[in-house]
Amino acid sequence: MSPSVQSRVPQPQVLSGIRVVELGQLIAGPFCGKILGEFGAEVIKVEPPGQGDPLRKWRLLKDGTSVWWQVQSRNKRSVTLDLRHADGQDVCRKLIAEADVLIENFRPGTLESWGLGWDRLSSINPGLIMLRISGYGQDGPRRDMPGFAAIGEAMGGMRYLTGEPGRVPVRTGVSMGDTLAALHGAIGVLLALYYRTVSGGKGQVIDVALYEAVFNCMESLLPEYSAFGVVREPAGGALPGIAPSNAYSCNDGYVLIAGNGDSIFKRLMEAIGRPDLAGDMSLRSNEGRVARAEELDAAIGEWTEGRSVNDVLHQLDKMRVPAGRIYTAEDIAKDVHYRARDMIRKITTRQGYELEVPGIVPKLSLTPGVISTPAPLLGDDTESVLGELLDANEIADLRARNII
């Protein structure tokens, strides 16, 4: 019996009929492929024979395979192919000739060295959409430098702001640079698919750089420097220029409170027993509150420190003040709202064990995404996919020479 996946299978799926060839490894390219696969695209993941995508062995393993892999590669088909071999490159060109989208996240120039550059591929498939994700983009003076998510986060401006004032900047704990690049890549693919439809079939290249994807999310960072010469500095749990908004200590943990709306601020001050601050005319706008942010944080912190997180949240919920606890993985797994929103799914992996994994975002009312198949074993679909392009003798020859 094939492994089962708990899912709600809607009809139709919005990307049904779109074939994606994924040549990328690890995070950025494959995360984009994951998104497209969840909304119906057929995603063919090309992996090197033997070890496959290194993500298969990243972080915690169960039955020899990363549990992260079970999320990143769901809804995909695995084909093994040695792209460093001329015959492997030839097979890959045949595969791409039948594809709508190609995803890759190698260093610029790598595909060209394998005979898989845009000029050659577009000549055999004019409607091809090619998503290229790299550290610094396909041109510019840093084009050929290696770039991982951490470097993109640093160059994009995020790392400098993350942490406590005067301390070494820290990373967020996950590879945000890769994920942001993947999300921008998915947007680009959808835009290009739409343009191909209205242009009579024209394909194009989508060039996403990790640092640019991060930089695009940095809000007012550059305009403030341009207008005022202000270099935004790290502020720990606070949100500089918007007050009050911070993490506050309770007697059993921390709580996040966002009291920065004008009416919200007034309700927050009433909740903490400070009607004097609620009625202070100088605090009725954000500009005035920012000028007294330390005073406000001290007042809120004095109220929270003698209370439990649950008590604080209960009191603030009654006053309709946005607040929340800082969740661990255990908190997420036990949260009723996550489960009510179908954001925790139970699957059965190809290895045969059950696993809880994140649900699907975004949620579409008519064409929601699905988890249709679990992440594949290495090379699970090599014969079935290549059987559409090659005869049995050709496939046997490639396998005998370890090209597939």
Residues belonging to the active site: 178
| Burial state string for 323-342 with b = 16 or more CB within 10 A and e = fewer than 16 | bebeeeeeeeeeeeebeeee
Of 128, 104, 115, the closest CA to residue 30 belongs to 104
Residues 240, 219: Cα–Cα separation, whole Å: 12
State the Cα–Cα distance between residues 345 and 46, nearest whole angstrom: 26
Helices (H) and strands (E) in the chain, counts: 19, 13
CB atoms within 10 A of CB 92: 23
Joined together, the tokens standing for residue 337 give 């709202």
Beta strands in 81-136 (DSSP E): 101-104, 129-134
Is 321:267 a contact under the CB 8 Å cutoff? Answer: yes
What CA–CA distance (Å, rounded) separates 404 from 397? 9
